[in-house]
Structure 1
């Protein structure tokens, strides 16, 4: 039994469904893809006119049923993420068919930000890291793709399966494993909706620096054979990032990978160590000296402990302080006035042999050690004195970058930190960091008292605290690394500026304002067309309410919907409300009848034919094509056909009405001789009664009927004709005309000449009346007296058995 019921239910559902081959509807366009907040027009057409009605259905309900058209247009407002629109048609066979508009509402991302999940911008070789691409407030995410770029080459594309229609915040992760070969790599991510003509939204570029331990390049062999007394340069160049620091012979001095030895006389072994923060490697280089037949005659004297102080040493250095960029050439002149036993330069690189000249130059074509510390010496009588120039070797940063310590959008009222990373700079203690918001300098920090490490080359960082506020949203923050190297330093001061960091600050809606009063045109205006200014991030969504109920803001308003509307402007951090007084204007429309009936002398206001409309329409009356002026009262001549024209700024309409002015009857003939008519006995006479009125009056005659009196009626005209008049025809003839407004009376008196005078009739009538009155009085008296013989008596028995009445005064004690 249950299976049978299920089968019947399924069959009934099949019958009610609309087969595709019977569906006469088509949509243009069938699919809508548009940005949130806009409007789109969709046309629905039926192939047949044989139907019982077409209508649109959406989330707010049904539109009016149209049964005389095969075309319906609808303006679809995309201010609702779940907007729908369905065109429906009722066919004659009680079958209903429909077509759904495929609607996709989209919103491009507010912002796309890229940052490492590990807050460091440096990566170590062989270790996996993750970069995070955050896409804020995008919809629908199922149509979103995120493309990753490494040095502008696509390395990954991400897609999303979430079918939610409302805007979401989503993220994509890129795993990164770096290998040596390139110390700096640029990454960015790009978010794009896969709709036509949509431009991608790209993040800022971040630079990732690859760090790896040193590794020797083996540009020189481990064993060198040189002639005795010759100069030799040793090389232990290593590849590493950060750039390795080199130590020769167990840390005796710090140099680059090149070490120049002047006048080698004996075999020697040097140890070269290359080190950075990720590793240390060491290499031995053996120098074998090949003896020659002759030896140099020059002998270097050894200074004793009593060597004079530098300020007494007769040596002049030019310049005495040298600031040189790492890798550039360097030159210092050393001169004296007393070159008695020779002078020269002792240096790890750029040293010179003893010379009898009074002028000797320390010169390096490419200075690649951080602390060269050359000494200019002069041999005096049994002593040697030296002077060392002050040499500052500097290097501009490889890069300067700004990032948030905590990645992602900021929230107003919370404190955040921005970090400025300066990579591979020397000397670090000479770095000054300057923070800028736009072009405004907001903070300065120097490192001169914070560097305890003896190595001048390295990375430095500084964090700056920011109290996030709405004024910071969208602002660009940069940091500048300046190297102040003293008065002898380069001018202008060497400076490297970071790329800008764009702050994304979320804050609740504020300053929500719409027009306080607005007038829109009926069916052409909806509340989502109002210009409302609201500041908030993420961008607030506006929800409209009317009379305490939330409404579809895209639905056109009608004349009955004027009033106060409330807008709630809301994001996930808060909401604010504002109100708008909306007046829905519309063109004139007459709300009156086609026919009116008034009475004469009524005021024109009695014709209640008004036109509704906002603004209030002006009404003009026309009769017979002529414009009418103002009226005080209606008159009987005002009946007729009128054209009424009502107009305001939204249009003009006409209305035709018929006016019927009712009035009481009036007689057309004039009474003559005060209504008296005298004829001879046997003569003929006619009395006419002709009255007019609206409505047409009814006429009645009041007279003494006789055989020779004839009544004739046509329309509102009634006559009495008396033929061969006799004395009995004499008397009054009264004509009464009546309609619903009133009545009128006209009387005639007919006198017959030659009849007997009847003056005596009046006294006779009086005498008869008096006689009747006397008779009535006599009868009353007789009846009264007779009634006195009857009454209530008391009786007593006589001795003879008879009853004897007592008189009225008897007490009953006497017989």
Structure 2
């Protein structure tokens, strides 16, 4: 018989202190402006329950107000409270703080849990000409300190008024520095004042100074007690902080292990070092055994102080908690299975730990001895002392003992009888369950009947046995697999699953690509395509199979915006083939195809090599096509671009509608006839004069079979073209795959004769002929045909010649003077030129002048010689000699 013990549910309210408390000015940084309202905000993070929360506001050590919360939220939340202040000069250097106080219910620890924010130092800008930098200082006692006082206004002097390091009045500066190498005044109040011009009173400003000293020692102890503590007894811990200042900046933090328990703050205004103590009430439990309590002194000196704030820890106070002895988890009735023992029943706790004894019918017994079914209904006692003992009635049960297989495998629609038995004391009642629903055997099994069946055998205890019946059946249709159309770059998942037992194996038939991965898990085979491309377009077949059969389903994936993969490689893919020639083309692939063949001239060639014989072409536009069928890919085809060409049978050049010589300046049309050439759109006719390329003629005719084609060239010959050779050349431009250089055929040269008008080339316009002299007049002309040249004088022909005629005049007289005409004629052309012949008397005049000159010269010469032959008489006069001519005899 089972006896149920009642359960007592005790609901405890969990009180959590705030993680952090901070104070700030809403929407403002820097100094405040005098006469302006500002909103202070206190943020309390992760506090619960918030209905027990009170926020207290302080200015210095003065409590201003408090804010309470009435929300019913019990989980930790962030809370905020606000407080408005009106800034004035009395607030300059003031420190505002907020404190989160979590009031405890009666069951909670005492006193209330508190958490204080760091102080908010307020600087009020009053449009005062006195500027302090820094606006406030925090300095350790006995160390150096300095601050600047400055102004931008004209003044009659500025000074620092301070007991230590005073600065005398100075007028020649705008900034003075208070500097002290060792500060030893605990309540120093430096004052900077400036005598501003045009003001009756000086402007003054105090520098807030916080002087601090860290503790000499921090220690923790139990008030009035030493040694172990007793569970449930109230004790008082005391933290002693020696020689610390200022006290109102001191916070004592209490810890158990690394857990902060509470903070203790002080309001003592004393600024000099003192000894200070804080206490904490504790009521140790057994969970506190071997716990370390310690305290930490921290000086909260504001943001201008060293960071982190100065702290000092005590040594840990290690406590030992005595409790018990107690017996627990000891039921009045114990039902044990045969072979089990009493070990583990009835827990014993206590410090020091007691040693229990077991009695059976008043006699000692070993609780670890296994019990037999013959020992039913015996009384046992766990004994510690006369006041602490526990009686138990022990029942030894055996069974139910179930004899049954663990696994049966059947085919769908087969009938099953498990044939399981159960033995035990008392005799068990046997029931079959599946998913907590009662079932009956024998049973014809369907696939939905597969699973775990539980045979429950009940007497004074309950035994059960799980029988797994496996119903095997072949795979049904594929589920969860559908066609998909996706954009390029998308990720694609194809899920394939089939109902079958044994679980089917999955096989995918598809075109493999590096971005395709298959993962089978929990009866589902997933084919994933990462960043789909055109190579993934195709079919995907999933096959599900087990030992009883198989099924499959094929779906299609289309990747929009991407060209599907065709893994055929045709070489060469661009063929330039001369008519009546052959070429071999290959079709290969790196992917194993199920079918690869050529289609050409309505024939199928079932291998990758194709002989293309142009003689078999029925027309000149045949395209061999290679077709391949691949696993998972669409059937694809690639063709060979064949350019079939034929060089001309003949190329010749002629003048359209003209034979014989041409006339200079007239327009003629040359025609180049190219016979039986293909393809015409690849034909270029090049025109040459001698070795000079004149023009290219291209053709756009789309006919690919051989045709006759003509090209024309307009010429206007000049005499320089006489005897020139004109010729044309047919060239087939057949792309880089064609023979190099390209196939060409030249015409025979067309030699032309140019007839042009005669032109007299002599430059003679007039001739002066000395009288009685001989003179020759030459006239020559050029032209084709060769011109006839003749001289005429006074309308009478004198002499005629071919291309040149020379007229000679002997011993010219005035009768020979006049206009002589040279005439050049050829065919219907003629040209004339006149030459004027005049008598030249200049030689006769020169001859007469020379004769007269010679006669005059001879006369002068004879007279000179006669004068040189006179006689002279030489006489001396005054030592000078004179010579006189003698008289003629």
Fold similarity call, TM over 0.5: no
TM-score by length of 1: 0.32
Which structure's relative contact order is higher, taking Cα pairs within 8 Å and 6+ residues apart? 1
Q: Which has the larger radius of gyration?
A: 2
TM-score by length of 2: 0.29
